[in-house]
């Protein structure tokens, strides 16, 4: 049988539930009238047709299946042996979307539909609802069926501009909040595109929009009005310096994205004064709206970070949850109102600013919703997560600063010297930066692959990793070449010519200091051949897209100089404060204590994170001062503060003291987790089988997150 087009909404029901079928059809009729869906049920079978053949044909051409599940439905032999198994099989293959509806109290879980999103809350069967509630549920189900049928994907591009030498925007907290808000949505339905904020120039935004054809553009930036009364935004140039962009300039860019259709449909400006209402002014929001954008949201005056974050999270959640733009806008304002009430309750002296009146919405149609978005779907890789590279903890969270060093690293990559070296002490963020670079390459440059080699390296280990990746990508001869008796450099030459040269590959050497002499930095004993091999490898890759990427604590011989080696500094004052604000406990320190903390501890991210974790357990939600924090580590103050050196890794210093407080059972957990770098506790225990009798030896020099301290101490933190 030839493959048929799946274009129907198949409704599976028991004839004893005819009344529910007719009710559902009433709510689907507006979609039918607009030609948006083609529903089918067995009442469409004409006299004289072979009913079984007609049903089978309809099943095989169903794009969406609606199943009216009830006791009658489950009692039907034809449904449970023909229709239901056929639809479940098609859904598993991705050929058909399922929408279950629970009509009465019945064993819905026995249908096999529990693995698929129901059309409503099945804890409340339709027959138990009031008529008005049934109307609301059926309206929502009709909207869900339309979404499943049309396959709309809401595509959001969220951009942050924070140029150097301009007041910093605390965008990390906004990223955290938005990422949390979008966790409940499937990426197939809502594509939240949040590039690492290393790219915030007007040209880069245009390029991103042209590639993704996003429905919504969200911009976080400083805003204002110039001396001509024209609204402006503080964007960045290619060096990260301030570039002032007028609303009319941004409007021209958006109008020029495509000749057939204006993208995006909605623009949200988290920028002060972007929707000023005074006569004679042309704020950015008004300029975009008059240029043809269907809906623009802006701020009519200065808005706090907290209010902007609350508004955006609630607005996006509501819009993606099928609200109209009016409903989503009101949800955003309500979130600001609730936030203000919470702040007043927490701080009676806090002055209510009524910031819920600041957002302004310009919309041609207040009933605008996701149905107005394009049918285009972004099939590019999703936002990379930290476990993809088993490194940085901030991959899924808000990124903390380092914009300037990131741009510098990308410039080095573009110079095609064959290698980049990140040098810095333990805990400074080398793995975080490595992951961010890899994520940027994955998201913004087509065709990048990654090879990761951790710790101790050798010619054989490197060649084996390259061979495995080449074989994975179906490079002919990869395994055979690796298995020959040829010299390592000859094998390397073959892989460069046939694999790495024609492709884009980032070869990551994480924790490369394990191959170097401590302090001196030269290759350790027995590693002379590795040094020559690495030098040759770098030279082979010069002027090619593929490159070597090292993270190490020591200078790497043969790679000296700013054209290859980037020294990673401690956090700046602003980055330090952002790190505190993104934490749980240290942000509650008073101003003087924060200054003391920075002066005494410095800007090492891991040291701050460990202290934050311990302080959170010890002090819970109460305020505290530096003097109390200092007492948490009585045996370590002299070592980690007064005598700390540039090469110190803070983690083992903390753990060597903290482990004294562990019970034998807690030490067993420690042994399991100690092999992990920045572990997520539950995943680590599962992967390593903590319930088995397999033993792991504690390695105090392993760099692990203090998140495990919570498991060890509970509320009984030492000190």
Domain with residue 43: its CATH number is 3.40.50.10140
pTM, to two decimals = 0.61
In degrees, to the nearest 5, what angle opens at C-alpha 533 toward C-alphas 527 and 537? 145
Q: What is the CATH number of the domain that holds 362?
A: 3.40.50.1460
Q: Within a domain: residue 2?
A: no
In a domain, 3, yes or no: no
Looking at the structure, do residues 661 and 699 belong to the same domain, yes or no? yes
**pLDDT score, position 591:** 78
Asked if the structure places residue 489 within a domain, the reply is: yes
605: its two tokens = 């991210």
**In sequence order, which residues have a C-beta less than 8 Å from that of residue 9 and are 6 or more positions away?**
28, 37, 38, 39, 40, 62, 63, 64, 65, 66, 145, 149
**CA nearest 296: which of 360, 232, 244?**
360
498 and 602 in a common domain: no
What pLDDT does residue 455 have?
A: 84
Domain boundary among the residues 129, 150, 171 is at 150
Contact partners, residue 226, CB within 8 Å, separation at least 6: 232, 244, 246
| 266 in the same domain as 118 | no
Asked if residue 482 is part of any domain, the answer here is yes
Beta strand 419-423 pairing with 448-454: unpaired
Query: Last residue of some domain: 531, 547, 567?
Result: 567
Residue 509 lies in a domain: yes
Same domain, 660 and 524: no
Q: Check if the beta carbon of residue 606 is closer than 8 Å to that of residue 655.
A: no
Question: 357 and 396 share a domain?
Answer: no
3-state secondary structure 221-235: CCEEECCCCEEEEEE
Whether 627 and 539 map to the same domain: the answer is: no
Instruction: For residue 219, tell me if it sits in a domain.
Output: yes
Distance of alpha carbon 349 from alpha carbon 244, whole angstroms: 37
Domain total for the chain? 4
Q: With contact defined as beta carbons under 8 Å apart, do 484 and 491 qualify?
A: yes
- Residues 101, 12 contacting (CB under 8 angstroms): no
| CATH number of the domain residue 554 falls in | 3.40.50
| Chunked mean pLDDT (size 10), the chain, 719 residues | 73 94 93 87 84 91 94 94 93 89 93 88 92 90 83 83 72 71 71 68 81 86 92 84 90 74 81 91 93 93 88 91 91 93 80 86 91 71 42 42 78 90 81 77 72 89 93 90 93 94 91 79 76 93 94 88 84 76 78 80 72 76 78 51 47 50 60 42 35 35 37 36
Q: CA 539, CA 419: separation in Å to the nearest integer?
A: 9
- Asked whether residue 215 falls in the same domain as residue 334, the answer is yes
Instruction: Supply the pLDDT for residue 46.
Output: 82
Considering the domain architecture, whether residues 142 and 159 belong to the same structural domain is answered as: no
* Radius of gyration for the alpha carbons in the chain, expressed in angstroms and rounded: 29
Same domain, 523 and 602: no
Q: Where are the alpha helices (DSSP H) in 168-265?
A: 171-181, 202-212, 247-255
Same domain, 234 and 348: yes
pLDDT computed for residue 284 by the predictor: 94
Task: Return the pLDDT at 389.
Answer: 40
Domain final residue pick, 150, 174, 199: 150
Shared-domain flag, residues 132 and 168: no
Contacts 24+ apart (CB under 8 A), 237-244: 237/163, 237/201, 238/201, 238/203, 239/407, 240/163, 240/164, 240/403, 240/404, 240/407, 241/163, 241/164, 241/165, 242/163, 242/164, 242/165, 242/166, 243/163, 243/201, 243/202
The answer to whether residue 163 is domain-embedded is: yes
Parent domain of 459: 386-567
Helix (H) or strand (E) holding 320: helix 305-320
**What is the per-residue pLDDT for 662?**
58
Q: Is residue 377 part of a domain?
A: no
Is 244 found in the same domain as 134? no
Residue 632: per-residue pLDDT: 64
What is residue 502's predicted lDDT score, i.e. its pLDDT?
A: 92
CB of 94 closer than 8 Å to CB of 129: no
């Amino acid at each position: 049988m030839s493959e048929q087009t799946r274009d129907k909404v198949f409704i599976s029901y028991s004839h004893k539930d005819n009344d529910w079928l007719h009710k559902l059809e009433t709510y689907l009729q507006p979609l039918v009238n607009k030609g948006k869906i083609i529903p089918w049920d067995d009442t469409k079978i004409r006299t004289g047709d072979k009913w079984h053949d007609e049903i089978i044909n309809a099943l095989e051409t169903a794009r969406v299946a609606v199943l009216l599940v009830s006791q009658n439905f489950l009692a039907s032999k034809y449904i449970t042996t023909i229709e239901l198994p056929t639809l479940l099989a098609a859904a598993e293959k991705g050929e058909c979307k399922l929408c279950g509806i629970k009509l009465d109290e019945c064993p819905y879980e026995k249908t096999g539909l529990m693995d698929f999103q129901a059309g409503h809350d099945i804890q409340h069967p339709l027959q138990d609802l009031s008529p008005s509630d049934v109307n609301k549920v059926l309206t929502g189900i009709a909207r869900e069926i339309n979404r499943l049928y049309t396959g709309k994907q809401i595509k959001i591009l969220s951009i942050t501009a924070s140029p150097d030498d301009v007041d910093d925007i605390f965008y990390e907290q906004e990223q955290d909040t938005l990422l949390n808000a979008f966790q409940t949505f499937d990426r197939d339905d809502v594509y939240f595109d949040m590039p690492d904020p290393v790219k915030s120039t007007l040209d880069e935004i245009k390029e991103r929009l042209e590639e993704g054809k996003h429905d919504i553009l969200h911009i976080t930036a400083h805003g204002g009005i110039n001396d001509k009364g024209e609204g402006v935004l503080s964007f960045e140039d290619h060096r990260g310096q301030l570039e002032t962009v007028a609303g009319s300039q941004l409007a021209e860019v958006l109008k020029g994205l495509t000749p057939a259709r204006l993208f995006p449909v909605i623009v949200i400006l988290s920028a002060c004064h972007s929707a000023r209402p005074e006569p004679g002014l042309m704020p950015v929001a008004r300029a975009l709206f008059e240029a043809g954008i269907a809906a623009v949201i802006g701020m009519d005056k200065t808005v706090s970070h907290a209010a902007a974050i609350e508004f955006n999270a609630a607005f996006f959640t509501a819009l993606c949850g099928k609200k109209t733009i009016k409903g989503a806008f009101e949800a955003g304002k309500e979130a600001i109102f609730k936030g203000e009430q919470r702040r007043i309750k927490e701080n009676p002296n806090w002055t209510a600013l009524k910031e819920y009146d600041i957002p302004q919405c310009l919309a041609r149609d207040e009933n605008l919703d996701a149905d107005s978005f394009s049918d285009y779907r972004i099939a590019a890789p999703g936002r990379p997560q930290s476990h993809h590279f088993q490194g940085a903890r901030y991959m899924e969270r808000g990124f903390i600063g380092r914009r300037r060093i990131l741009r510098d690293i990308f410039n080095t990559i573009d110079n095609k010297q064959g290698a980049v070296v990140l040098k810095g002490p333990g805990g400074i963020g080398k793995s975080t930066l490595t992951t961010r670079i890899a994520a940027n390459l994955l998201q913004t440059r087509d065709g990048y692959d990654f090879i990761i080699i951790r710790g101790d390296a050798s010619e054989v280990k490197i060649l084996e990793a390259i061979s495995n990746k080449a074989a994975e990508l179906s490079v002919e001869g990869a395994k055979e070449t690796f298995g020959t008796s040829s010299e390592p450099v000859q094998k390397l030459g073959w892989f460069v010519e046939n694999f790495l040269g024609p492709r884009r590959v980032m070869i990551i050497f994480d924790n490369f200091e394990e191959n170097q002499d401590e302090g001196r930095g030269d290759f350790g004993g027995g590693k002379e051949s590795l040094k020559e091999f690495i030098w040759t490898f770098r030279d082979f890759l010069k002027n090619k897209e593929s490159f070597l990427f090292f993270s190490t604590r020591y200078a790497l011989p043969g790679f000296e100089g700013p054209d290859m080696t980037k020294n990673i500094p401690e956090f700046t004052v602003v980055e330090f404060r952002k790190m505190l604000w993104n934490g749980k406990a240290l942000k509650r320190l008073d101003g003087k204590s924060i200054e003391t903390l920075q002066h005494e501890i410095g800007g090492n991210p891991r040291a701050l994170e460990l202290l934050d974790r311990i302080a959170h357990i010890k002090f819970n939600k109460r305020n505290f001062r530096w003097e109390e924090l200092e007492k948490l580590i009585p045996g370590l103050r002299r070592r980690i503060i007064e005598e700390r050196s540039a090469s110190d890794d803070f983690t083992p210093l903390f753990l060597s003291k903290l482990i004294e407080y562990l019970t034998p059972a807690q030490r067993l957990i420690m042994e399991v987790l100690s092999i992990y770098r920045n572990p997520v506790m539950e995943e680590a225990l599962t992967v390593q089988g903590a319930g088995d009798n397999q033993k792991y030896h504690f390695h105090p020099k392993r760099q692990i997150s203090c998140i495990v301290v919570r498991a060890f101490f509970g509320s009984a933190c030492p000190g």
